[in-house]
Amino acid sequence: MKQYRNLSDPELVNLLKASDHAAYLEIYDRYKTALQQHAWKKLGRAEDVQDLIQDLFTELWVKREVLTLTTGLANYLFTAIRNRSLNLIYKRRKEAPYLDSLQEFIREGNYLIDLQIREKEFQELIQKEVESLPPRMKEVFKLCREEGLSHKQIAERLGTSEHTIAKQMTNVLKILRKNLGPFYFIIFLII
Do residues 79 and 128 share a domain? no
Q: How does 95-133 read in b/e, with b if 16+ C-beta sit within 10 Å?
A: eeeeeeeeeeeeeeeeeeeeeeeeeeebeeebeebbeeb
Q: How confident is the model at residue 60 (pLDDT cuts 50, 70, 90)?
A: very high
Quote the pLDDT of residue 172: 84
Boundary-marking domain end, from 107, 136, 171: 107
Highest-confidence segment of 36-45, 52-61, 94-103, 139-148: 52-61
Radius of gyration of the chain (CA): 33
Do residues 51 and 138 share a domain? no
- Domain of 40: which CATH number? 1.10.1740.10
Boundary-marking domain end, from 52, 77, 107: 107
Q: How confident is the model at residue 1 (pLDDT cuts 50, 70, 90)?
A: very low
Query: Angle at CA 137, nearest 5°, toward 136 and 140?
Result: 85
At a CB cut-off of 8 Å and minimum separation 6, what does 54 contact? none
Do residues 49 and 76 share a domain? yes
99-129, pLDDT tens digit by residue? 777 677 666 666 667 777 877 888 888 788 8
- Of 177 and 161, the one with more pLDDT: 161
Say how many domains are in the chain. Answer: 2
% of the chain surpassing 90 pLDDT: 34
Please tell me the least confidently modeled range out of 56-70, 110-124, 127-141. Answer: 110-124
Half-sphere exposure of 123 (CA within 13 A, CB side): 10
Range of the domain at 120: 110-190
The pLDDT of 68-77, averaged and rounded, is: 90
Boundary-marking domain end, from 107, 140, 171: 107
For residue 58, give the amino acid letter. Answer: T
> CB burial class (10 A; 0-12, 13-18, 19+) of residue 168?
buried
Residues making up the chain, counted from first to last: 191
148-176, pLDDT tens digit by residue? 889 999 899 889 898 998 998 888 888 87
Query: Angle at CA 108, nearest 5°, toward 106 and 111?
Result: 50
